[in-house]
Structure 1
Amino acid sequence: MFDLNALRLAAHAVHQTLAPTPQLAWPLLADRLGCTVWVKHENHTPTGAFKVRGGLLYVQGLLAREPQTKGLVTATRGNHGQSLALAARSMGLSIRIVVPEGNSLEKNAAMRALGATVIECGKDFDEARAEAAALANTHQWHLVPAFHPDLIRGVATYALELFEAVEELDTVYVPIGMGSGICGLIQARDLLGLNTEIVGVVSAHADAFAQSFEQGRVVCTDSAHTFADGLACRQPLPEALAIIAQGAARVIRVSDREIEHAIRVYHETTHNTAEGAGAAALAGLIREQSQQQGRRVALILSGANIDRQLYAGILADGVEPSAQL
């Protein structure tokens, strides 16, 4: 998809807008899990999520290829939309963002604050994506996909930062939504010639990517009902699956209950806020804790954009998840 020089150029471009995010080894987290754990804090970006990296690079590349572009349209559950809204505003472009009905009020508000027109349509992300495509066709707006080489190269800059800051990582756990984050991680690892295993984490209630990984073909599901909206994919993209199938050690499922528990653990051990998708990697490590004892592990805390009332309710609920999904 891209070489190491192109990745370093992407990092330089991204760092003109945002500083590298920290990767921190938290002692309480290590004591709790029995392994050394670095957290890659993508919750510390200007939009509170890793997607901002890809949005900046995508819009820069788009204007270089198609300088006549005036308006953008895309579909999102929130973080992808915020990244593109920020990039579009910085480049003087208008943007319409289609979200599913009942989407996060706070994510919708954040996108509007960045200058986007937010349109609610469809029962889930995939229906919102279809509406965005229809709007692009009708109004001749540029349709920004959820998965594109520039998006992947942009978000892969977090992986470059992580791997160059922390040596000899045994395993990295990363959430899977539409796949840009894990694909960028895989590509960066391979370009650097590392042996680190990469474990993708999906919601057990939205496990299309896990089924697809296991069966070696795209498997779509009828629903993706999880509060972790960044994981709510029911139609995996073949190009993303191909990279994951070749480069991931495994794709594991965690329940919403386990993700809620991981959100509480992050708060207790690091005092960081994690949204559902952001806590999924930690939930995956907790599920596989016994096989990571004494090892060097990293977690991608991909975002912090969770509505206040939902977050308060999760923190107030101290029930530990069972071992079963």
Structure 2
Amino acid sequence: MQGTRLDTARILAARQVIDPVFLNTPLYRCEALEAELGCTVSIKLETANPVRSFKGRGTEVVAGQLADSGSRAVVCASAGNLGQALAWSGRGRGLDVTVVASRFATVAKLDRIRALGAGLELVDGDHELARERAAAVARYEGIRLVEDSLDIETCEGAATIGLELVDTVPPFDTVLIALGGGALATGVGHVMKARAPEVEVVCVQPLGAPALTHSWHQRRVVTTDSTDTIADGVAGRRPIPAVLDDLLLVADDAVLVQEASIIAGMRMLLDHAGLVVEPSAALGIAAILEDRDRFAGRHVVTILCGSNVDVGAYHRWVGAAPIHRS
């Protein structure tokens, strides 16, 4: 594909170095959701792995390259999921991993980063401040800075999800992808356009963290001063220009959804599918809820990208909804 940073040959090679525990994740039709959503819904479940998110696919590629080159230390900024994944991948390869995060990040995510043996530095600010601090640590220590979505390995690792999707039968019409930094959307979108161009690629972001969606629509980087969403995993304010360039080549649409719809999506996934997910993973369901007519009668795949959620916050959001067994 002309003009993109991603390369299909490297994506195929990535699948050979990623620990199999992250590959071939469950993909299945969830009929229990369909009556309320008005379309055929398939779920790609990226939570059934040791770090409970898709991020391990990318960090496996990064950590493998670092270990092969003789590197012994690495640092990243993370809202939680990337940090867990890098800690897991680095631990198995003898890497000294440091994660910089906001002290306001989800406590469960921070605890898991520590439990996986990574050093954790907290900053009094949001994820963008954590990115600045991680860059400073990398310069001072002379070590590799892993930047999610900017580092192509994170995008091409995520793209292996797309390889698994295009092999599915029967075919589907639309894939709904959570949009944060852009690694998942550009990676999966690249594979879709290369191997299944008839599939509509729709990116979904919270109304309270709209920077990359606004950037996609305006075809230029648009930043915001703040974010206001429970979907912390996608709450960026400053899109990366190179990532936007890739996204413009592969996304057919980018939409914003309200917080109430995200919560309703989480509740539906618990109630009808028995799945506990973090807010970012419910963005696809939220998009269908807000525009049923658009997706009516179609076969939609939504990627459930993570399930690292604070239990107390989760219960406040979704309540004690019972699980309906079909």
* Whole-Å separation in 2 of the counterparts to 1:39 and 1:149: 26
Partner of 1:109: 111
One-letter identity of the residue aligned with 2:51: T
TM-score by length of 1: 0.93
Aligned partner of residue 98 in structure 2, secondary structure: strand
* Whole-Å separation in 1 of the counterparts to 2:82 and 2:170: 30
Partner of 2:29: 25
Cα offsets for 1:255-289 (capped at 9, x unmatched) = 11211111001111101011011111111122121
Partner of 1:133: 135
Cα offsets for 1:1-48 (capped at 9, x unmatched) = 444443222223224343411111111111221111101000112211
Partner of 1:203: 206
Q: Which moved more, 1:212-221 or 1:9-18?
A: 9-18
* Whole-Å separation in 1 of the counterparts to 2:125 and 2:283: 23
* Whole-Å separation in 1 of the counterparts to 2:238 and 2:298: 34
* Whole-Å separation in 1 of the counterparts to 2:159 and 2:23: 15
RMSD: 1.5
One-letter identity of the residue aligned with 2:98: R
* Whole-Å separation in 1 of the counterparts to 2:320 and 2:235: 23
One-letter identity of the residue aligned with 2:147: P
Query: Does the 8 A contact of 2:175 with 2:200 survive in 1?
Result: yes
TM-score by length of 2: 0.93
Deviation at 1:203, TM superposition (A): 0.9
Aligned partner of residue 43 in structure 1, secondary structure: coil
* Whole-Å separation in 1 of the counterparts to 2:26 and 2:244: 29
One-letter identity of the residue aligned with 2:312: Q
* Whole-Å separation in 1 of the counterparts to 2:87 and 2:57: 12
Partner of 1:12: 16
* Whole-Å separation in 2 of the counterparts to 1:85 and 1:34: 40
* Whole-Å separation in 2 of the counterparts to 1:226 and 1:158: 26
One-letter identity of the residue aligned with 2:198: N
Aligned partner of residue 34 in structure 2, secondary structure: helix
* Whole-Å separation in 1 of the counterparts to 2:49 and 2:164: 13
Cα offsets for 1:124-173 (capped at 9, x unmatched) = 10000000111111122221111211111111111211221244311111
* Whole-Å separation in 2 of the counterparts to 1:304 and 1:2: 27
Aligned partner of residue 44 in structure 1, secondary structure: coil
Among candidates 237, 242, 262, match of residue 259 of structure 1: 262
Query: Does the 8 A contact of 2:21 with 2:49 survive in 1?
Result: no
Partner of 1:322: none
Moved over 4 A (4+): none
Partner of 1:63: 67
Cα offsets for 1:154-206 (capped at 9, x unmatched) = 11111211221244311111111100000011111122143101111111011
Query: Does the 8 A contact of 1:61 with 1:150 survive in 2?
Result: no
Q: Does 1:185 align with 2:188?
A: yes
* Whole-Å separation in 1 of the counterparts to 2:165 and 2:196: 14
One-letter identity of the residue aligned with 1:263: M
Query: Does the 8 A contact of 2:104 with 2:126 survive in 1?
Result: no
Among candidates 123, 126, 150, match of residue 125 of structure 2: 123
Query: Does the 8 A contact of 2:59 with 2:85 survive in 1?
Result: yes
Q: Which moved more, 1:13-22 or 1:76-85?
A: 13-22
Cα offsets for 1:276-321 (capped at 9, x unmatched) = 1111111112212111111111001100011000111112188xxx
Query: Does the 8 A contact of 1:41 with 1:301 survive in 2?
Result: yes
Aligned partner of residue 223 in structure 2, secondary structure: coil
* Whole-Å separation in 1 of the counterparts to 2:211 and 2:7: 29
Partner of 1:82: 84
* Whole-Å separation in 2 of the counterparts to 1:291 and 1:56: 37
Number of residue-to-residue matches in the alignment: 316
